[in-house]
Structure 1
Amino acid sequence: MRLEQLQAFLSVAQTGSFQQAAKKCGVTQSTVSRQIQGLESELGLPLLHRGAQSKLTLAGDQLLPHVRKILTEWQDATQEINDLRAGKQPELCVAAIHSVCAHYLPPVLQKFCQLYPEVQLRVTSLGSDRSLKVLQDGLVDLAIVMNNPLLTSRSENVVDWLYNEPIQVLMSSEHPLASHGVVPWPELAKFPQVMFKDGYGMQRLVQDQFKSQGLDLKAVLELNTLDAFRGVIRQGEMISLLPRGALVDSLNDPSLAIRDLAAPEAKDMDPQLNLTREVVMVTTQDRLLIPPIANFRRLVHDSFISNIP
């Protein structure tokens, strides 16, 4: 069963004439006749009484409302696809890590809204692993995350590097480690640590680093908001390893202190390299065929490359 067969049948039903149906469909009368015959052969019953005025048979009368529905659905579907290709997208959904949402993404969002005022922009702050999962499930169009090659290296993904940022230590201004200009790794192991929850790339990064250093990680609390991190760490001896972008709101807080990490001491690691995280933007190849998504990607790339220190 083909769409042109259904269109031919509908046209004959509407006009009562094979000749008029052929004109309406832009084909020859013999083509319409073959299409109707093919449809009847597939269904196993005649659909039309042939004569000076073609009329529907019982089977044709049963089929007609379904054909109308199928062709209307197809017309609606093709119109939606054409709108999508033309950039008439009803919404664009983005998932991004907290620090990106708070500090780096707002200028991009403003520019995009000016370019596409008719597109509903939806931004959700999520951990990296969760952001990549909702991208994979088709719930968002782009994800800005801490890179995890195990999750980003799918064949359909397009991955754009945005920036690397150092991991630093957040502590109370009265904390014993605040006396250090640069905090040695063995000193970190002496204090309880606040971590991002499972599913956040930072948790995995910190755990892997402690393991590579042969140190025990005293993880005593898991949180998922930066406000909560600051509130807990102000209270006393807990510390946290966080990326620089997550510490912007802590810079001018007199109750908090931020210190750099010493270079890693593991034998298999380059002593010149401090701990960093890589932030990337991920979407899929098919999504980049849609103008609003492609332009959002361009805005992010241009803004981040020029503004991230």
Structure 2
Amino acid sequence: MNFKHLKYFVATAETGQVSRAAKLLSISQSSVTGSVRELEAILGVTLFERRAQGMELTKAGREFLQVARDILEKVDAAHQIERGTSDIAGTLTVAASYTVIGYFLPYHLGRLAQLYPRIDIRIVELNRQSIEEQLLRGQIDMAVALTSNIHREGIETVTLLKSPRRVWVPAGHAFCDGGEVSLNRIAKEPYVMLTVDEAAHSSMKYWNRHNAHPNIKLRTSSVEAVRSLVANGQGVTILSDMVYRPWSLEGRRIETVSTDVEVPTMDVGLAFSRAIALTPAMKALKSYFTSAFLSPKLQF
């Protein structure tokens, strides 16, 4: 196994298509396909299901994705240390929503502190409506938020990560035995509805689009409560891979299953007002995130 195997695998997983990964990496599609197949042979597992709409990660693929990202990020961090830190200085007030603060931002704040020690980043937790209002009023500089929820005129967004949504079920559930599952089958199960960050509103959009209705047993703003309830057999839910963890707080296993209809991804990214010019500190923050998620890295 080498770094190219990991890099090509991550690019394919994040873009969902070999053609997009090849374009991102500026290489041929055959190179990406060959590398992924070599990696699967080395690991002895299938990492992707090849479908008409693209490449979908298997359960093994989703588990290996985090490992691959960790390895590449640590190597990239070592390279950044060699290059030294930046002299860019300033204070940034950055808003973030609940989900982003809990499941996306902490690692990157550590990296930013290493790379830009003279930038004072002050984080405030806000909901989507407050983020939009304060960006337009100039009360905050930028936001790291669920860009799939932001559609306000005058706000520019840069999506960094598209996190697929899947069904969460307890270990041994019947859904684990039959491949993709329909919303009508899910509707027959008790359903735990997450409400934080407009999750319930986002969920009902695709439920209504397919003329199906979840059998909601409980609504909660706590991701950990959802995790525990599902793990203990009290219901199922549909949530994104970004907040998925295979174990509940009680140590019970949670599995994920894909749906047979397209469920919108949960998109995470940057948001800022189009009416203001980006300061050097704001440009540094934007450059860090776009480089980390949207640019080819680690040219081995």
> TM-score normalized by structure 1?
0.57
Task: Spell out the pairing of 1:128-207 with structure 2 (5 A cutoff).
Answer: 128-148=128-148, 151-155=150-154, 157-197=155-195, 200-207=197-204
Counterparts of 2:214 and 2:284, CA distance in 1: 43
How far residue 133 of structure 1 moved from its aligned partner, in angstroms, is 4.3
How far residue 127 of structure 1 moved from its aligned partner, in angstroms, is 4.8
Q: Residues 161 and 182 from structure 1, CA distance in 2 versus in 1: closer, same or farther, beyond 3 angstroms?
A: same
Counterparts of 1:258 and 1:127, CA distance in 2: 29
What does residue 51 of structure 2 align with? none
> Residue 244 of structure 1 is aligned with which of 241, 245, 258?
241
How far residue 95 of structure 1 moved from its aligned partner, in angstroms, is 1.0
Q: Residues 146 and 302 from structure 1, CA distance in 2 versus in 1: closer, same or farther, beyond 3 angstroms?
A: same
| 4+ long deviations beyond 6 Å | 251-254
> Residue 283 of structure 1 is aligned with which of 264, 269, 272?
272
Task: Spell out the pairing of 1:102-113 with structure 2 (5 A cutoff).
Answer: 102-113=102-113
Counterparts of 1:222 and 1:136, CA distance in 2: 32
Q: Residues 173 and 283 from structure 1, CA distance in 2 versus in 1: closer, same or farther, beyond 3 angstroms?
A: same
Structure 2 residues not aligned, in runs of 5+: 1-86
Task: Spell out the pairing of 1:42-53 with structure 2 (5 A cutoff).
Answer: none
Q: Residues 259 and 231 from structure 1, CA distance in 2 versus in 1: closer, same or farther, beyond 3 angstroms?
A: closer
How far residue 241 of structure 1 moved from its aligned partner, in angstroms, is 0.7
SS at match of 1:140: coil
Counterparts of 2:222 and 2:295, CA distance in 1: 27
Task: Spell out the pairing of 1:58-69 with structure 2 (5 A cutoff).
Answer: none
How far residue 195 of structure 1 moved from its aligned partner, in angstroms, is 1.9
How far residue 242 of structure 1 moved from its aligned partner, in angstroms, is 0.4
- Deviation track 1:146-185 (CA, whole Å, cap 9, x = no partner) reads 3347x43412x22112132211111221434333332221
Letter aligned with residue 117 of structure 2 = P
Q: Residues 232 and 253 from structure 1, CA distance in 2 versus in 1: closer, same or farther, beyond 3 angstroms?
A: closer
> Which 10-residue stretch deviates more, 129-138 or 236-245?
129-138
> Which 10-residue stretch deviates more, 102-111 or 245-254?
245-254
> Residue 294 of structure 1 is aligned with which of 277, 283, 288?
283
- Deviation track 1:211-244 (CA, whole Å, cap 9, x = no partner) reads 1111122223222232222122222231111011
Counterparts of 2:194 and 2:130, CA distance in 1: 13
What does residue 123 of structure 2 align with? 123
How far residue 274 of structure 1 moved from its aligned partner, in angstroms, is 4.6
Task: Spell out the pairing of 1:241-280 with structure 2 (5 A cutoff).
Answer: 241-248=238-245, 250=247, 255-264=252-261, 273-280=262-269
Letter aligned with residue 242 of structure 2 = G
SS at match of 2:90: coil
Counterparts of 2:170 and 2:182, CA distance in 1: 17
SS at match of 2:160: strand
Kept in 1, the 8 Å contact 2:194–2:220? The answer is yes
Letter aligned with residue 92 of structure 1 = T
What does residue 92 of structure 1 align with? 93
Letter aligned with residue 183 of structure 1 = V
SS at match of 1:183: coil
Q: Residues 142 and 253 from structure 1, CA distance in 2 versus in 1: closer, same or farther, beyond 3 angstroms?
A: farther
CA RMSD after TM alignment: 3.2
Task: Spell out the pairing of 1:74-85 with structure 2 (5 A cutoff).
Answer: none
Counterparts of 1:251 and 1:294, CA distance in 2: 39
> Residue 211 of structure 1 is aligned with which of 183, 187, 208?
208
SS at match of 1:304: helix
Letter aligned with residue 113 of structure 1 = A
- Deviation track 1:242-272 (CA, whole Å, cap 9, x = no partner) reads 01111145499962333333232xxxxxxxx
Structure 1 residues not aligned, in runs of 5+: 1-85, 265-272
Letter aligned with residue 160 of structure 1 = V
What does residue 65 of structure 1 align with? none
Counterparts of 1:138 and 1:222, CA distance in 2: 34
